[in-house]
A and B are shown apart, each in its own frame.
Chain A
Amino acid sequence: MDFEFSPEHVALRKMLREFAEEEVRPLAKTIDREHRVPWETLKKAAKIGLLGVPFPQKYGGMGAGETGYCIAMEEIGRVCTSTITNIGAHIGIAAMAIYLDGTEAQKQKYLVPLASGEKIGAFGLTEPNAGSDAAAIRTRAVREGDSYILDGSKIYITNGPIAGICSVLAVTDPTLGARGGVTAFIIETEWEGFKIGSQENKMGIRGSSTSELIFDNLRVPQENVLGKVGLGFVTFMKTLDYGRASLGAGCLGGAEAALEAAMQWAKARNQFGTYIAAKQSIQWMVADIACEVEALRSLIYRTAWLIDSSRPFSREAAMCKLYGSEVASRAINKALQIHGALGYSSDFHIERGWRDARIAEIFEGTNEIQRIVIASDLFQQIGVRIRS
């Protein structure tokens, strides 16, 4: 056993902490207010390699593995959830799908510009009638010569309006359904037939863009099939597994920031003749946040280690997402309570954190879906199938 981070990872954390403080934090409030993507930050992030942290250097990445990626999400997550949403969708699912199942040619053509940050990626799975039930997608892909013609639409797609490259799932054989009838494709958003639909007005993570994607007679060459024809669902589900650990890491950053803010305010705020840190109600809230943060940190980095050492990690990654999102929500909720009315004011940053945190319990597979993933895996070990 060895719980120490490698010197490389320690150095990476130090660099990212500085980047987060100097480049990300100053914009966090503005991008929320203005509902805008921080392009200037993303450009700088690309320069330091942040948009390709986990990928090998030969694909334009930093080569820091899942552990490095989790460090990145944690550090940036401490200061701005919108920014890690942009980065997480880009690395954790969009680029990851190509890294996992792309051909060498696809990786050269698409993963390299994504990992180097030259282009931004999006992951097109969700549809109006296919949310948690991802297999119920309707977007069609019909073979025509050496191409596929895509028709349909996707909703709630993070990075939709800013993406240059998008991995999408479409039905190639309606008779087969999710098992064999669904195929993943890599599309370039400049192609004719690709359109951005309405953008969502979200409760939080307003510095990330979420939109509808419309495919209208969109021609995709067959060499852009990602993975095998008919096995797109497998590619996408596997990709989501990878995204979950890092999503939990972003939540860890959010929870740590909530703890720090709560402590600072408990020390600064005087009521009833003393700082409120002297009150047990406040102490309990702080202690409870801190316990959960420690448990979450161990869970995240142990799961990252499973991934980096090529061990099975599906169940653990689901736990990172489930527990991480709930810990982050509880932490920021307690931090808001400690701040009293100030916590409810949009002049201060706690209320933004509170709105931002809530999405993690929902997106990239609702927490209900995570519980099913965890329970299925557990029951499978004693020979019980709970999912058809």
Chain B
Amino acid sequence: MDFSLTEEQTMFRDMFRSFATKEIAKVAEHTDKNEQVPPELLKKAAEQGMLGALVPDTFGGAALDPVSYALMLEEIGKACMSTAVVLAHHTSQATQAILDFGSDAQKEQFLPLLASGETIGAFALTEPDAGSDFKAVTTHAVHEGNEYVLNGVKTWVGNAGIAGLFIVFAASNPKANGKGMTAFIVEKDTPGLKVGHREPTLGLRGATYHTLYLDNVRVPEANRLGAEGDGAAIADKALDHFRLALAAIALGLTAAAVEAGVKFAAERIQFGGPIARKQAIQNYIADSSAQVEALRYLVYHTAWQAGQGAGLSTAATYAKLFAAQAARFVTDRMVQVHGGYGYMEDYAIARMYRNSRSLDLLGGTDELMRVAIAGDLFKSQQLQIAP
């Protein structure tokens, strides 16, 4: 056993921390108010190799190990959760799907663009009537000659506002009931593809979520990701990666919230002394800090397992569920430590609190995580659990 970071991981973390502090934290409030991550910030992050974090160096990526990648998202999440989530949609969902399932040609064509940040990736799975139940997608793909014709509507497509490439999931065989789903790489300028209504959101206002319309979108066979029917497996795997990424972001968010709470409690004088001297405040801070530490090693452990080649599935589910609950608890308690100030948008904690609420929904609801965990546990009893 060894819980310390390697020399290389420490070096990466310091680099990420320095970048996040210098470049991201100072524009976090602006990103939220302006409702977009500044394009020049994404460019700078790309120059640091962050947009190709997981891509092998042969395709121009930084080829980070999973623990270093978690450290990256943690540090960015500390500075600005919107920015971190934009990177996670790009890296852990869109890019990862091509890494895991792309053909050699697809990798050569798309990975360098994604890794350099020239193209931002998006992931189009959810539909109005297929949220948690994503296998119920009705967007369909019809094979015609050497093309597929895609029709349908996707909602809540993360990064849609800035993306050049979409991983789109469609039913290619409606009779196969979920097993007939296929994934496609669709470029933004493909005729018939339209980015529609942007969702105004409670938090994560720097990230963009749009409705995506597919109206007779013709996708060449060469852009089919994996085989026909591989869609569910591709979605599941990308979601696993995304869940771990969200847990790492939540770690950064909660650590930043506790830091803000500790600082405020030490400075705020009430009843003749800093409120840090009150046990009510100490309780909130101690309970929150314990959550952060538990989450920290759950995230690192899960990332480390991924680096060992173990399957992520249930492990990422645990990490995401625990992360969402910790983030809700910690940001809520830290708002309370701030009192009236915590309700004002001038204080970062108000934004963190709004942002944290996305974690119980994004990448699968808490309820779905619990079904997956219970399902995994009951497997040992030869019992099948469905949502």
Q: Which of B265-283 contact A (CB under 8 A)?
A: 269-272, 278, 280-281
> Beta-carbon contacts of A352-382 to B below 8 Å, as 1s and 0s?
0011001101110011100100000000000
User: In the complex, what residues of B have CB within 8 A of residue A346's CB?
Assistant: 199-202
> Beta-carbon contacts of A256-276 to B below 8 Å, as 1s and 0s?
000000000000001111000
Does B41 reach chain A (CB closer than 8 Å)?
no
Q: Which of B132, B201, B269, B350 contacts A203 (CB 8 A)?
A: B350
User: In the complex, what residues of B have CB within 8 A of residue A385's CB?
Assistant: none
Closest Cβ of chain B to A124, distance in Å, is 14
* A340 x B365 contact (CB < 8 A): yes
Does B143 reach chain A (CB closer than 8 Å)?
no
User: In the complex, what residues of A have CB within 8 A of residue B203's CB?
Assistant: 344
Closest to B350 in A: A203
Does A67 reach chain B (CB closer than 8 Å)?
no
* B336 x A340 contact (CB < 8 A): no
Q: Check A341/B335 contact, CB under 8 A, given A203-B353, A354-B202, A358-B353.
A: no
Q: Report which residue of B126, B200, B367 has the largest number of chain A beta carbons within 10 angstroms of its beta carbon.
A: B367
Closest Cβ of chain A to B66, distance in Å, is 27
User: In the complex, what residues of A have CB within 8 A of residue B345's CB?
Assistant: 201-203
Closest Cβ of chain A to B19, distance in Å, is 29
* A362 x B131 contact (CB < 8 A): no
* B357 x A131 contact (CB < 8 A): no
Closest Cβ of chain A to B339, distance in Å, is 6
User: In the complex, what residues of A have CB within 8 A of residue B269's CB?
Assistant: 129
Q: Which of A102-157 contact B (CB under 8 A)?
A: 126, 129, 131-133, 136, 156
Closest to A346 in B: B200
Does B118 reach chain A (CB closer than 8 Å)?
no
* B370 x A281 contact (CB < 8 A): yes
Q: Which of A204, A281, A336, A351 contacts B367 (CB 8 A)?
A: A281
> Beta-carbon contacts of B272-311 to A below 8 Å, as 1s and 0s?
1000001011000000000000000000000000000000
A354–B270 alpha-carbon span in the complex (Å): 28
User: In the complex, what residues of B have CB within 8 A of residue A129's CB?
Assistant: 269-270
Q: Which of B335, B358, B365 contacts A358 (CB 8 A)?
A: B335
Q: Check A271/B339 contact, CB under 8 A, given A202-B344, A347-B199, A355-B202.
A: no
A340–B328 alpha-carbon span in the complex (Å): 15
Q: Which of A281, A341, A354, A362 contacts B336 (CB 8 A)?
A: A362
* B336 x A126 contact (CB < 8 A): no
Does B133 reach chain A (CB closer than 8 Å)?
yes
Q: By the criterion of a CB under 8 Å from any partner CB, how many residues of chain B are at the interface?
A: 44
Does B206 reach chain A (CB closer than 8 Å)?
no
* A344 x B358 contact (CB < 8 A): yes
Closest to B341 in A: A131
Does A345 reach chain B (CB closer than 8 Å)?
yes
User: In the complex, what residues of B have CB within 8 A of residue A368's CB?
Assistant: 278, 280-281, 336
* A337 x B365 contact (CB < 8 A): yes
Does A248 reach chain B (CB closer than 8 Å)?
no
User: In the complex, what residues of B have CB within 8 A of residue A341's CB?
Assistant: 126, 131, 155-156, 199, 361
Does B387 reach chain A (CB closer than 8 Å)?
yes
Q: Report which residue of A126, A156, A362, A371 has the largest number of chain B beta carbons within 10 angstroms of its beta carbon.
A: A362
Q: By the criterion of a CB under 8 Å from any partner CB, how many residues of chain A are at the interface?
A: 41
A34–B60 alpha-carbon span in the complex (Å): 47
* B131 x A203 contact (CB < 8 A): no
Q: Which of A126, A272, A371 contacts B280 (CB 8 A)?
A: A371
* A345 x B199 contact (CB < 8 A): yes
User: In the complex, what residues of B have CB within 8 A of residue A340's CB?
Assistant: 131-132, 361, 365
Closest Cβ of chain B to A332, distance in Å, is 11
User: In the complex, what residues of B have CB within 8 A of residue A200's CB?
Assistant: 344, 346
Closest to A206 in B: B345
Closest Cβ of chain A to B269, distance in Å, is 7
Closest Cβ of chain A to B115, distance in Å, is 29
Q: Report which residue of B129, B200, B272, B370 has the largest number of chain A beta carbons within 10 angstroms of its beta carbon.
A: B200
* B336 x A367 contact (CB < 8 A): yes
Does B354 reach chain A (CB closer than 8 Å)?
yes
Q: Check A271/B131 contact, CB under 8 A, given A131-B270, A203-B354, A355-B354.
A: yes
Q: Which of B313-372 contact A (CB under 8 A)?
A: 328, 335-336, 339-340, 342-346, 350, 353-354, 357-358, 360-361, 365-367, 370-371
Does B149 reach chain A (CB closer than 8 Å)?
no
A343–B361 alpha-carbon span in the complex (Å): 9
* A345 x B200 contact (CB < 8 A): yes
A289–B116 alpha-carbon span in the complex (Å): 49
Q: Which of B160-206 contact A (CB under 8 A)?
A: 199-203
Does B142 reach chain A (CB closer than 8 Å)?
no
Does B105 reach chain A (CB closer than 8 Å)?
no
Does B136 reach chain A (CB closer than 8 Å)?
yes
Does A36 reach chain B (CB closer than 8 Å)?
no
A346–B270 alpha-carbon span in the complex (Å): 36
A22–B330 alpha-carbon span in the complex (Å): 39
Q: Check A351/B131 contact, CB under 8 A, given A202-B344, A271-B136, A337-B366.
A: no
Closest to A205 in B: B343
Q: Check A156/B360 contact, CB under 8 A, given A337-B365, A346-B200, A355-B202.
A: no
Q: Which residues of B pack against A, CB within 8 Å?
A: 126, 129, 131-133, 136, 155-156, 199-203, 269-272, 278, 280-281, 328, 335-336, 339-340, 342-346, 350, 353-354, 357-358, 360-361, 365-367, 370-371, 386-387
> A336-B357, A345-B200 given. 9 additional CB < 8 A pairs?
A131-B270, A132-B270, A272-B136, A337-B361, A337-B367, A354-B202, A355-B202, A362-B342, A371-B280
